Amino acid sequence: MKKTSLFLVLLMVCGGLAAQEMEISSDTVKIVTDSLSVTAPMDSLQESSTEKKVVPAAKKKVELPPREVQRFCQMMRDFRRDYDAQLERWDDIYLLITGIRPNPDYYKLSMPATYYEAPVEQAFSISGWKPRIPFVKENVLEKQLPKVADLQRSAQVDKAVNRQLLSFYLAYPGLVKQNEENLKGLKPILGEKMVNQPRKENLLEMMQGGELPNQVTEKDLLVIKPNFWTFGGNGYLQFSQNYISDNWYKGGESTKSLLSGFTWQANYDDRQRIQFENKVEWKLGFITAPSDTVHSYKANNDLLRLSSKLGYKAFSTWYYTFSAEFKTQFFSNYETNSDNLVSAFFSPAELNVGLGMDYKYVKDGVCNLSVLVNPINYSLYSVASDRVDPTKFNIKEGHKRESVWGSRVESTLKWKVFSVLMWESRFSYTTNYEKVLAEWENTFTFSINKYLSTKLFVHGRFDDGVVREEGDSYFQLQELLSFGLSYTW
């Protein structure tokens, strides 16, 4: 409840109780105030003196307040007690409020603070005003007549509410945010009536037929096995083109490139202990090579990778994990202006098998992070072709394959940075504590719509297990920007 509404409810309850309990005349109010500070009028002193109690001479005389003051104080105590009790019940969200009946006469106080026209009109109106004649005696007989129901109580309450509102307007004008003109035309919210229709069934016929109420036979049962498998993937076909005329002042070559990719995933998760993740992906790209007189095009991006992880939950988001990964390439790649084979299918081929723990952080639709730590890892590097130099792929000269024991850390991240940008990253670090092979692959996808996108590939690699030429670094970098079709399912 807002502060303004609570203040108005307090005025409503106070005004209602005061109007119901008693009518205090101006003389009575004067008695209340005078009894606290100033001496009361002579008539009031004479009446109150008759009601004083006589105490023994040894004690001081205790003068009790007038009866009107006692009744007023008692009324205020009762009001405070009832108000605190109802306020405590109101704030208790677990208590079903009963017994508090709303009074429509005070609707102006229960509404949000609003400027009404009636308080201002009433303040400047003189209707119902009568001059007060001091020498006319009070009609005692009228007070002795039996009281009848006040048929104009709602109008009197409205006048009292208008006085309270006018005082509120003057004291707290900044809290009044609404205007009566804006409330015109509002209609109450009417709820739909719900009628409970009892079911009419013939129990005798049901019992004679050998069936019981709510009985379900085996043929009526439909059992659905839970499916813990999820499948998904994405594919893309990107291209880029660059044209340079023969007489271009800076020189250069016109090139065309084509890049395709495909990813398919099959994951099992029983939401309790076991997770089984499988992923197949390839990247295949070609670029024209005008300066290569032997080959009209070359493969500039070629990857086939299969990975699998079997995890058993240890605690929280950590899993004991057995992982395996295999990667190679599809097509052969040659040196420029030469038939010397640099790489080919299964040349090289790399296999990693490890045992460790996997940390998972998943926020649906936003972030998916996995950090795999394998203290025990086995790596196998092999070259199938005799025309490929094995020393470029962590294999000793004269050998076709190399086995390495060590450790491995692999981290994968899929993060939707904002609605049109997706960042996919994969980092791996493999070492036998003598040499290191690290790779960091990043793919930034800028989605134009469901079928069109722009992709930026940045692939960094560090390998100090190969023989490097003088002046070269162990760090290698590949970058590609393309535009084209893409689809995710």
Q: In whole numbers, what is the pLDDT of the chain averaged over residues?
A: 79
Quick one: which of 362, 411, 353, 399 has its CA closest to 380? Answer: 353
Are 353 and 466 part of one and the same domain?
A: yes
Q: Which amino acid is at 368?
A: N
pLDDT digits (tens, 9 = 90+) for 117-154: 889 888 888 877 777 766 666 666 666 777 766 778 88
More confident residue, 390 or 20: 390
Are 392 and 470 part of one and the same domain?
A: yes
Are 462 and 360 part of one and the same domain?
A: yes
Say how far apart CA 115 and CA 180 lie, in whole Å: 6
pLDDT > 70? residue 419: yes
> CB 465: neighbour CB atoms within 10 A?
19
- Residue 177 binned pLDDT confidence (cut-offs 50, 70, 90): confident
Residue 199 is predicted with a pLDDT of 64
Are 234 and 168 part of one and the same domain?
A: no
CATH of the domain at 382: 2.40.230
To the nearest whole percent, how much of the chain has pLDDT over 90?
A: 26
**Residue 323 resides in a domain:** yes
Are 311 and 453 part of one and the same domain?
A: yes
Task: Judge contact between 116 and 162, C-beta under 8 A.
Answer: yes
Are 122 and 237 part of one and the same domain?
A: no
Residue 407 is predicted with a pLDDT of 95
Are 246 and 164 part of one and the same domain?
A: no
Domains identified in the chain, total number: 2
Are 81 and 19 part of one and the same domain?
A: yes
Are 325 and 176 part of one and the same domain?
A: no
> CB 50: neighbour CB atoms within 10 A?
6
Which residue range(s) make up the domain with 400? 229-488
Residue 443 is predicted with a pLDDT of 92
- pTM attached to this predicted model: 0.53
pLDDT > 80? residue 19: no
More confident residue, 247 or 16: 247
* Least trusted range by pLDDT, from 103-117, 177-191, 392-406: 177-191
Are 290 and 349 part of one and the same domain?
A: yes
Residue 102 is predicted with a pLDDT of 67
List residues bridging with 334 in a β-sheet. 341
**Residue 22 resides in a domain:** yes
Are 381 and 248 part of one and the same domain?
A: yes
Q: How many helices (H) and strands (E) does the chain have?
A: 10, 16
Say how far apart CA 395 and CA 391 lie, in whole Å: 5
* Least trusted range by pLDDT, from 24-33, 105-114, 230-239: 24-33
